[in-house]
């Protein structure tokens, strides 16, 4: 069950010092850093967590009937209800004190001033500049006018392929941040149409099946591939780009001008040109925008193509509204600050290991995948600003799936399993179509039932009411018991449109900043993933150290399978 003796899953070196550590990296923010467990509020929070560990959500409501109003916040039309979390006024005030002691206000100022909060790479993390919310640290890559002209030409049918036919299909080839954000937003916002003027697809995996599926419904003469890769060096993307080129060549002939079927979003102009993309079709993005924060930049090209420029601008405006809220609202009413603090409370004080994200919208089916990269690639780290190792747990394992589909699959564990699972319900209300209303009611019902649970007496009485005899009801009732008390946040928005999606995505971006700041880690690098990439390269090339015995025998077995053995 839940574990309040923090950070049990890994053996982790304890930070040795209680002293304020001079920050050797963030030289320009001047905000001193102390590991969070050395801040006075940390101890208060530990005490409060022990007191609340066995308090049920219903008991919290009974003790404070006004908590539904007290523990809700609003930013524009985005409404967040935290009252089903295992928090009370004292824990919220201690969490706000923790934010103050950690110098979060200075951190937010540094972020918006474009200081080098990405301290290991000595860069700003100024994705908010792309939504007009702060100055760009430098102009390079932030102007999207070339992207916009290209998308206009595409949408007006002015771009022709090698055989003179109009381009009607855009296939984005990219992975990670060069895929997940635009894919999520395009799925959520593309109007449903049986005959779109421009079809947009996304391919990420090196598994040939994904590209093959898209190619099977594509025409070489009318298809444009956008190679989206900030680095233009990502193995999966380059392999798929090569495969796309071979497919075009096979369909259009060796002498066709294949350059008419490619564009790229990348900062590696030379590498893109070497691949065969014309210089005026390579769209850069700023270096101060990390991959998983890049949907707002030129990486949004396929999204803009799918939804149009004005919807893309509404998407930016929604994110900009959340930036302004985060930057200017006192922490007592600040939505990303609360999201970050309550997540930290669940992770570090109540000992929950995961965060389940449950969008009640088919259009948001890739929201959990997008959030996994955003949250786990950002805060799935252990080394602090001062070079020491964290003594507290950092990012939870983020996972999820859409409602109501998940209700018929994994919700059983929430009701009767042995684990506490904090959940974010994301609920666009939409119109009064009865099926839409049913969807929304289901989200509310799940959050309510998971908090309330069902005790033995209620279970027994329900069975008796159904006509079951006393003995049978006694036998079966324990199997109907549900302890409840699963904490959740419900995020409600009027509808799933470009503005509100932008707001929602920026909310999570800033929540991650809040947590990373307090933990003292850098949310904006990703050195960890390089290890796996190096290993994949070494195995593919046969160079480097001999693989371990397990890996060597797996490789040998795979070779046998390939030969039909």
Active site residues: 377, 408, 533
The minimum distance between CB 265 and ligand F6P, in angstroms, equals 8
The minimum distance between CB 175 and ligand F6P, in angstroms, equals 5
Name which of 172 and 482 has its Cβ closer to ligand F6P: 172
DSSP secondary structure, 117-183, as one string: -BTTTTB---GGGGGTSS--SS-TTT--HHHHHHHHHHHTT--B-TTSPBP-EEEEE--GGGTHHHH
Name which of 13 and 529 has its Cβ closer to ligand F6P: 529
Q: Which residue is nearest to ligand F6P (CB)?
A: 291
Name which of 40 and 528 has its Cβ closer to ligand F6P: 528
Question: Can you tell me which residue has the tokens 């649970």?
Answer: 453
Cα separation, 462 vs 306, in Å, equals 51
The minimum distance between CB 285 and ligand F6P, in angstroms, equals 9
Cα separation, 18 vs 22, in Å, equals 12
The minimum distance between CB 52 and ligand F6P, in angstroms, equals 37
Angle at 341 between CA 132 and CA 394, to 5 degrees: 100
The minimum distance between CB 290 and ligand F6P, in angstroms, equals 7
**Helix/strand/coil (H/E/C) assignment for every residue in 179-236:** CHHHHHHHHHHCCCCCCCCCEEEEECCCCHHHHHHHHCCCCHHHEEEEEECCCCCCHH
The minimum distance between CB 229 and ligand F6P, in angstroms, equals 3
Q: Which of 32, 529, 36 is nearest to 290 (CA)?
A: 529
Which helix (H) or strand (E) element contains residue 357?
strand 354-359
Which helix (H) or strand (E) element contains residue 476?
helix 470-480
Q: Determine how β-strand 488-493 pairs with β-strand 78-81.
A: antiparallel
Name which of 368 and 420 has its Cβ closer to ligand F6P: 368
Cα separation, 114 vs 136, in Å, equals 7
Name which of 528 and 544 has its Cβ closer to ligand F6P: 528
Name which of 234 and 395 has its Cβ closer to ligand F6P: 234
Within 13 A of 536's CA, how many CA atoms are on the CB side?
9
Residues that bind ligand F6P (CB under 6 A): 175-178, 229-231, 234, 237, 291-292, 377, 526, 529
Name which of 231 and 470 has its Cβ closer to ligand F6P: 231
The minimum distance between CB 363 and ligand F6P, in angstroms, equals 22
Question: Can you tell me which residue has the tokens 């995020």?
Answer: 491
Cα separation, 328 vs 326, in Å, equals 6
């Amino acid at each position: 069950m839940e574990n309040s003796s923090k950070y049990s899953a890994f053996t982790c070196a304890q930070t040795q010092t209680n002293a304020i550590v001079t920050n050797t990296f963030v030289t320009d923010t001047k905000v001193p850093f102390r590991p969070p467990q050395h801040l006075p509020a940390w101890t208060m929070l530990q005490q409060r967590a022990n007191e609340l560990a066995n308090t049920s959500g219903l008991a919290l409501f009974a003790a404070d009937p006004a908590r539904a109003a007290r523990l809700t916040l609003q930013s524009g039309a985005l409404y967040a209800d935290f009252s089903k979390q295992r928090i009370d006024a004292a824990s919220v005030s201690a969490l706000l004190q923790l934010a103050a002691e950690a110098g979060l206000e200075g951190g937010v100022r540094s972020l918006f001033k474009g200081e080098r909060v990405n301290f290991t790479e000595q860069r700003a993390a100024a994705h908010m500049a792309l939504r007009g919310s702060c100055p760009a640290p430098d102009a390079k890559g932030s102007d999207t006018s070339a992207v916009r002209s290209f998308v206009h030409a595409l949408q007006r049918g002015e771009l022709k392929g090698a055989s003179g036919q109009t381009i009607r299909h855009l296939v984005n080839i990219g992975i990670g941040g060069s895929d997940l954000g635009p894919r999520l937003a395009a799925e959520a916002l593309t109007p449903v149409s049986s005959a779109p003027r421009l079809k947009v697809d996304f391919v990420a995996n090196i598994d040939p099946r994904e590209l093959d599926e898209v190619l099977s419904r594509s025409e070489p003469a009318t298809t444009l591939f956008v190679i989206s890769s900030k680095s233009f060096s990502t193995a999966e993307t380059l392999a798929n780009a090569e495969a796309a080129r071979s497919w075009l060549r096979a369909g259009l002939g060796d002498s066709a001008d294949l350059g008419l079927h490619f564009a790229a979003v990348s900062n590696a102009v030379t590498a893109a040109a070497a691949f065969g993309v014309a210089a005026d079709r390579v769209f850069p993005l700023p270096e101060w925008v990390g991959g998983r924060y890049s949907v707002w930049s030129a990486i949004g090209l396929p999204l803009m193509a799918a939804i149009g420029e004005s919807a893309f601008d509404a998407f930016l405006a929604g994110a900009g509204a959340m930036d302004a809220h985060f930057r200017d609202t006192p922490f007592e009413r600040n939505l990303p600050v609360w999201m970050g603090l309550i997540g930290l409370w669940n992770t570090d004080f109540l000992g929950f290991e995961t965060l389940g994200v449950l969008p009640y919208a088919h259009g948001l089916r890739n929201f959990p995948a997008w959030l996994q990269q955003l949250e786990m690639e950002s805060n799935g780290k252990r080394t602090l600003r001062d070079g020491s190792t964290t003594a507290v747990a950092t990012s939870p394992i983020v996972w999820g799936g859409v409602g109501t589909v998940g209700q018929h699959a994994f919700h059983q564990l929430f009701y009767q399993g042995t684990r506490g699972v904090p959940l974010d319900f994301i609920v666009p209300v939409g119109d009064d179509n009865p099926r839409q209303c049913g969807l929304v009611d289901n989200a509310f019902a799940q959050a309510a039932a998971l908090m309330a649970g069902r005790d033995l007496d209620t279970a027994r009485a329900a069975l008796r009411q159904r006509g079951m005899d006393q003995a049978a009801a006694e036998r079966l009732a324990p199997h109907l018991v549900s302890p409840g008390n699963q904490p959740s946040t419900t995020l409600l928005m009027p509808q799933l449109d470009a503005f509100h999606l932008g707001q929602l995505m920026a909310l999570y971006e800033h929540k991650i900043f809040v947590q990373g700041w307090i933990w003292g880690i850098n949310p904006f690098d990703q050195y960890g993933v390089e290890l796996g990439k190096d290993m994949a390269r070494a195995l593919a090339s046969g160079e480097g150290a001999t693989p371990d015995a397990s890996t060597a025998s797996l490789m040998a077995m795979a070779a046998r399978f390939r030969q039909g053995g």
